[in-house]
Structure 1
Amino acid sequence: MIYGIGTDICDIRRIETTLARRGDRFAEKVLGPQELQVFLARRERSHARGVRFLATRFSAKEAFSKAIGLGLHLPMRLPDCQILNEASGRPVLKLLGPLADWFAERRLSGLVTLSDESDYAVSFVVVEQAPPAA
């Protein structure tokens, strides 16, 4: 059963401006530990790729927070909602800490997709709830 759906569009230029103004502190407030490693590696190879990675993750986390109905209120913390990629490139949710516990208690699972083009990043999240155990 669908628990919630969320979508978000993010202006990549806004993320780049914020990153330039606040430095890596901004990335550290948004990204979880594994995401931060990917961000730093991508940015080292190409500044634009790093910014796009940060923007897609920011957008996906906003969409996720809408899908679960919490917005940015505890236990939803941006770094605790990681969007990582499988070897195939498919984005997957990896939740941490109290957010992971909250999600599991409600028997939730989530699907995420994200994309970026030119100046915008967009994401879509569907959260499903498993039926109660019989």
Structure 2
Amino acid sequence: MIYGIGTDICDIRRIAATFERQGERFAQKVLSDAEFAIWQARSARWPKRGLRYLATRFSAKEAFSKAIGLGLHLPMSWRLCEIANEKSGKPVIVLHGGLKDWFEAQGLRAHVTVTDETDYAASFVVVERNE
């Protein structure tokens, strides 16, 4: 049974402007430790690719927060929600700490997809209740 659906579109230029103002502090606020390491590696080789990675993660976490109906209120937080990739490249949501505990207690599971194109990153999340 579907519990919630969330979508988000993010202007990569807005992420770039925020990054210009805040620097790495912005990435550290939004990304989990594992995501941050990937972001650093991508940014070092291809700065624009690093910004796209940051934008897709930002967008996916916004979509997830909408799908669970909490917005960015506890137990939802940027760093407790991680967007990882399976070996095939398929994006998956990995939760940590209190957010993971809350999510599992609700009997939920999530599906996510992300995309980016020139100026925009977009994400779509479907959360289901286990039956």
State the TM-score, normalizing by the size of structure 1: 0.97
Give, in whole Å, the separation in 2 of the partners of 1:86 and 1:37. 16
Count residues with an aligned counterpart.
Answer: 131
Give, in whole Å, the separation in 1 of the partners of 2:88 and 2:44. 22
Code of the residue aligned with 2:30 in structure 1: it is: V
State the TM-score, normalizing by the size of structure 2: 0.99
Aligned pairs for 1:1-134 (under 5 A) are 1-131=1-131
Give, in whole Å, the separation in 2 of the partners of 1:118 and 1:44. 20
Give, in whole Å, the separation in 1 of the partners of 2:26 and 2:54. 10
Give, in whole Å, the separation in 1 of the partners of 2:125 and 2:44. 29
Code of the residue aligned with 1:62 in structure 2: it is: E
Shift of 1:20: 1.1
Shift of 1:37: 0.6
Structure 1 stretches of 4+ moved >3 Å: none
Shift of 1:129: 0.5
Q: What do the CA deviations read for 1:88-132 (whole angstroms, capped 9, x no partner)?
A: 11000000110000000011100000000010000000000012x
Shift of 1:87: 1.0
Give, in whole Å, the separation in 1 of the partners of 2:39 and 2:20. 15
Q: Show structure 1 runs of 5+ residues with no match.
A: none
Give, in whole Å, the separation in 2 of the partners of 1:66 and 1:123. 11
Q: Secondary structure at the match of 1:16?
A: helix
